[in-house]
């Protein structure tokens, strides 16, 4: 800023830009007029988002950290909330059923996401071709994703019913004894995988189709001129170009599957026995069935750490490499 | 500049709005004087919900008080109720729940002590079935009023029994297992003892489990455990319980209960996921011969009560105490869905008036029973209009009067949940009965230990 030549110039400048005045010389001005000054305006613009974030994200997060380090039993409020340090975390980590829950969650995630990726890629490649009615087919393909998971769970619960389910009806027509999908501990996780694949394959289709349509055509034309086969083009061009899209889709779905709750809650309530008590359901049960709220929160934090670690591993395993020249 | 000032004004308004919303959560617009409406939360699918809805207009006409019912699935009902009660939102004036949680709610201060209101309105509590009324008492005070009976009985389709050469309902566990096997038939009419039995083409099941994990299977399996001399907890004295579930008797009972499905195929494979209504449907459609039933409501369903008129077994079922091998006696829990009034309800008095009216008003209780509800009001069960519709009532009354009260401890709901998971793990062959019982005992001991019991 240029220097002031005279006192008059300085006064005139200050009158035109009142925020240059020290606070004690702004007496008598309204709060609105002060907040309208340029130096405060930024804070005012930020304030709604900041207050919202603090009230609904930061404060609950800090509060839940605090509760996880205390003993809080919802059904026994008269016991107060005594400090127990890391005891809740130790309790969760030493519970063999939590180990099972994590393992079952991983099994479900790996199985569901792998199938969704393969199916999604296949359908996206099909829909990327100029076929009749492709617009309608794309719309139909994404419908499952638009349905609320609870509705999906209830619908599949009926479709997978041992006696009256439509799936077992067709299996019986083939002369095969169908599995007891939701009542047999060996069949129940595959049943949930089928449901999840039905609902979430469209997400892979959408993202991968977007990736396929954004690809430059020149490298494919060059490869064709050089005599590359379709398979070679797919492996050496399509897949590398799709890599960032696959990574995003995988990340979204892996995170979502690791914290899956609604479908098993509706379809099996964690059963038979505790066979489908996935990690999120384990945390829920601790907090809202047994009322050990602090243990439930500790379990949720452990799940959060596991999800963060796995997501990082995934990002490292699938770097966004450039297509080789 | 003017545009910026406008934006700043909008931001400030949002800030003020957010702060007002956060700091003054109780602020609500004043409402004009309206008739009182009490809000009740009940279990979705509970036969009594429809019956209660039929009665509400009578209550409203009499008192001017409106009653709204919100239905929630069983799994969400307790969670939602306890979250609202612990947060003191005052959303519900009536919560209809199983008395398994009565001690827990009473000690947490979530539900109102109804004793003063019982004195104020001179509620004739002596007219209730005594065990069911007692289940609503904790440390000498009423924390609920009994509403819908859920005591278990063994239902036996006597037509199917006689066709299998069985003339009387089974009294012992051995007779029961034999009857279950003999009444299981494949499409050629052979039972599982026949070497040519076709287990893939069963047309009639001898005993239908209510096998869904949790409270459902807990209530289905427990009578057999008691009948074979097992138990869950032993009471040593006040606030002193010991876990005794890992006894040879319980293991033997769980083995028998599991083998009915896995070895003898007396139950549909899907019964490992059956809730009570699904089990009752199999019996009602004539595909099952025996089942442990909540009485007398499901007994009513089998005989064609409101909403179940399509029954194929009307008049064919006999209801008897659950089987027991001597010297053990038949034992079944005093199940009762009770009306709780949350301590933070803004209409405690009105809610109590409704609870009292629907459970003790003779006319209301008789209408409730006639429509298929299971009122705890004794006079309703001897009323000629009701006995004409349900001639089996004396049979189930016999069981209800000798039923067993669950331990009045806050941890009971959790212990029962673990017990149910144990039975489900064995029934679905995830664990052997020995392992399932051992693991459950460890978990139960941890629960009691955490709660400070001296000899868990």
Instruction: Give the C-alpha separation, A231 to B1, whole Å.
Output: 62
CB-CB neighbors (< 8 A) of A82 in chain B: none
Instruction: Map out the domains of chain A as residue ranges.
Output: 88-156+189-317
Test B105 with A77 for CB contact under 8 angstroms. Answer: no
Q: Read off the pLDDT of residues B264-280 as tens digits, 9 standing for 90 and up.
A: 999 999 899 898 888 99
Q: Which residues of chain B have pLDDT under 70?
A: 1-4, 21-33, 306
- Tally of CB atoms within 10 A around B431: 19
**Domain A88-156+189-317: what homologous superfamily?**
MetI-like (1.10.3720.10)
pLDDT at position A325 is 46
Give the pLDDT band of residue A1 (cuts 50, 70, 90). very low
Task: Give the distance from residue A184's alpha carbon to the nearest chain B alpha carbon, in angstroms.
Answer: 6
Domains of chain B: 37-150+334-401 (3.40.190.10), 151-333+407-450 (3.40.190.10)
Instruction: Give the C-alpha separation, B453 to B235, whole Å.
Output: 11
Identify from B7, B110, B213, B409 which residue to disrupt to test chain A contact, counting A C-beta atoms within 10 A and taking the largest count.
Answer: B213
Question: Which distant-in-sequence residues (6+ apart) come within 8 Å of B52 by Cβ?
Answer: B40, B42, B69, B358, B368, B373
Test B75 with A269 for CB contact under 8 angstroms. Answer: yes
Give kind and range of the element (H or E) at residue A172: helix A166-173
Q: What is the mean pLDDT of chain A?
A: 88
- Identify the DSSP state of B287: S
A78 touches chain B (CB under 8 A): yes
Minimum CA–CA partner of A266 in chain B: B75
Task: Give the distance from residue B14's alpha carbon to the nearest chain A alpha carbon, in angstroms.
Answer: 6
SS3 assignment, position B402:
coil
Give the pLDDT band of residue A233 (cuts 50, 70, 90). very high
What integer is the mean pLDDT of A161-168?
A: 89
pLDDT at position B438 is 97
pLDDT at position A278 is 95
Q: Read off the pLDDT of residues A282-307 as tens digits, 9 standing for 90 and up.
A: 999 899 888 899 999 999 999 999 99
pLDDT at position B451 is 87
* Lookup result for tokens 């459950």: B440
pLDDT at position A290 is 84
Test A77 with B109 for CB contact under 8 angstroms. Answer: yes
CA–CA–CA angle B43, B44, B49 (5° rounding): 75
CB-CB neighbors (< 8 A) of A268 in chain B: 273
Instruction: Give the C-alpha separation, B163 to B105, whole Å.
Output: 49
pLDDT at position A2 is 46
CB-CB neighbors (< 8 A) of B18 in chain A: 48, 51-52, 55
CB-CB neighbors (< 8 A) of B436 in chain A: 273
Instruction: Give the C-alpha separation, B273 to A269, whole Å.
Output: 10
Test A48 with B11 for CB contact under 8 angstroms. Answer: yes
Instruction: Give the C-alpha separation, A270 to B389, whole Å.
Output: 40
Residue B322 structure tokens: 């659950």
Q: For chain A, positions 96-115, list CB contacts with chain B under 8 A.
A: none
Compare CB distances from A162 to B11, B75, B269 and report the shortest one's residue.
B269
Backbone angles phi, psi at B255, to 5 degrees: -65, -45
Test A272 with B4 for CB contact under 8 angstroms. Answer: no
Test A184 with B75 for CB contact under 8 angstroms. Answer: no
- Using DSSP, how many helices (H) and how many strands (E) does chain A show? 16, 0
Residue B23 structure tokens: 């700091």
A43 touches chain B (CB under 8 A): no
Minimum CA–CA partner of B105 in chain A: A75
pLDDT at position A21 is 59
Test B86 with A268 for CB contact under 8 angstroms. Answer: no
Q: Read off the pLDDT of residues B74-102 as tens digits, 9 standing for 90 and up.
A: 778 888 888 899 888 999 999 999 888 89
Instruction: Give the C-alpha separation, B217 to B416, whole Å.
Output: 10
């Amino acid at each position: 800023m240029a220097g002031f030549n005279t006192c008059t110039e300085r006064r005139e400048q200050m009158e035109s830009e009142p925020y240059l005045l020290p606070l004690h010389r702004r007496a008598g001005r309204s709060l609105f007029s002060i907040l309208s000054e340029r130096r405060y305006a930024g804070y005012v613009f930020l304030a709604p988002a900041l207050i919202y974030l603090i009230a609904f994200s930061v404060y609950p997060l800090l509060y839940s950290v605090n509760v996880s380090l205390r003993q809080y039993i919802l059904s026994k409020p008269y016991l107060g909330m005594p400090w127990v340090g890391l005891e809740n975390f130790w309790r969760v980590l030493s519970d063999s059923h939590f180990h099972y829950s994590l393992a079952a969650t991983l099994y479900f995630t790996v199985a569901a996401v792998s199938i969704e990726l393969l199916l999604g890629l296949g359908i996206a490649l099909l829909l990327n071709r100029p076929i009749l009615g492709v617009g309608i087919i794309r719309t139909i393909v994404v419908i499952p994703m638009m349905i609320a998971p609870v509705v999906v769970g209830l619908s599949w619960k009926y479709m997978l019913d041992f006696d009256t389910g439509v799936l077992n009806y067709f299996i019986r027509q083939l002369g095969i004894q169908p599995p007891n999908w939701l009542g047999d501990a060996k069949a129940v996780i595959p049943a949930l995988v089928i449901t999840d694949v039905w609902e979430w394959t469209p997400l892979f289709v959408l993202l991968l189709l977007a990736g396929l349509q954004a690809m430059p055509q020149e490298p494919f034309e060059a490869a064709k001129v050089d005599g590359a086969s379709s398979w070679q083009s797919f492996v050496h061009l399509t897949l590398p170009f799709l890599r960032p899209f696959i990574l995003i889709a995988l990340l979204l779905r892996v995170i979502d599957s690791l914290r899956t709750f609604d479908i098993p809650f509706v379809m099996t309530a964690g059963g038979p026995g505790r066979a489908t008590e996935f990690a999120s359901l384990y945390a829920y049960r601790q907090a809202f069935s047994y009322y050990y709220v602090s243990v439930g929160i500790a379990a949720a934090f452990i799940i959060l750490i596991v999800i963060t670690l796995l997501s990082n591993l995934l990002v490292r395993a699938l770097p966004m490499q450039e297509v080789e020249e | 500049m003017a545009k910026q000032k406008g934006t700043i004004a909008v931001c400030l308004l949002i800030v003020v709005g957010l702060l007002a919303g956060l700091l003054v959560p109780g602020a609500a617009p004043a409402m004009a004087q309206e008739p009182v409406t009490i809000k009740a939360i009940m279990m979705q699918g509970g036969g009594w919900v429809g019956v209660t809805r039929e009665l509400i207009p009578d209550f409203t006409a009499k008192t001017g008080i409106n009653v709204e019912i919100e239905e929630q699935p069983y799994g969400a009902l307790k969670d939602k109720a306890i979250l609202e009660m612990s947060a003191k939102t005052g959303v519900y004036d009536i919560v209809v729940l199983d008395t398994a949680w009565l001690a827990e709610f009473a000690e947490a201060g979530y539900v109102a002590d109804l004793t003063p209101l019982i004195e104020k309105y001179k509620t004739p509590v002596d007219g209730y079935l005594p065990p069911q009324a007692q289940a609503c008492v904790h440390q000498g005070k009423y924390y609920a009023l009994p509403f819908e009976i859920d005591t278990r009985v063994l239902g036996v389709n006597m037509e199917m029994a006689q066709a299998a050469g069985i003339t009387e309902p089974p009294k012992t566990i051995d007779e029961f297992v034999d009857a279950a096997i003999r009444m299981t038939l494949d499409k050629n009419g052979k039972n599982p003892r026949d070497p040519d039995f076709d287990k893939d083409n069963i047309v009639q099941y001898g005993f239908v489990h209510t096998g869904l994990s949790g409270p459902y299977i807990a209530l289905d399996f427990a009578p057999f455990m008691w009948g074979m001399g097992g138990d869950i907890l032993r009471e040593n004295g006040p606030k002193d319980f010991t876990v005794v579930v890992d006894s040879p008797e319980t293991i033997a009972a769980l083995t028998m209960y599991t083998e009915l499905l896995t070895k003898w195929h007396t139950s549909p494979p899907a019964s490992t996921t059956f809730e009570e209504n699904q089990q009752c449907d199999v019996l009602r459609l004539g595909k099952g011969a025996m089942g442990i039933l909540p009485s007398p409501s499901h007994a009513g369903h089998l005989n064609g009560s409101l909403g179940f008129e399509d029954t194929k077994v009307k008049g064919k079922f006999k209801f008897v105490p659950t089987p027991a091998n001597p010297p053990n006696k038949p034992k079944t829990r005093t199940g009762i869905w009770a009306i709780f009034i949350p301590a933070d309800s803004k209409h405690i008095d009105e809610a109590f008036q409704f609870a009292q009216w629907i459970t003790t008003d003779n006319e209301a209780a008789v209408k409730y029973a006639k429509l298929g509800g299971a009122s705890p009001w004794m006079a309703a069960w001897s009323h000629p209009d009701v006995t004409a519709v349900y001639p089996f009532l004396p049979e189930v009354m016999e069981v209800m009067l000798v039923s067993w009260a669950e331990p009045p401890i806050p941890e009971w709901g959790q212990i029962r949940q673990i017990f149910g998971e144990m039975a489900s793990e064995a029934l679905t062959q995830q664990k052997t009965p020995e392992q399932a019982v051992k693991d459950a005992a460890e978990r139960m001991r941890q629960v009691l230990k955490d709660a400070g019991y001296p000899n868990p």
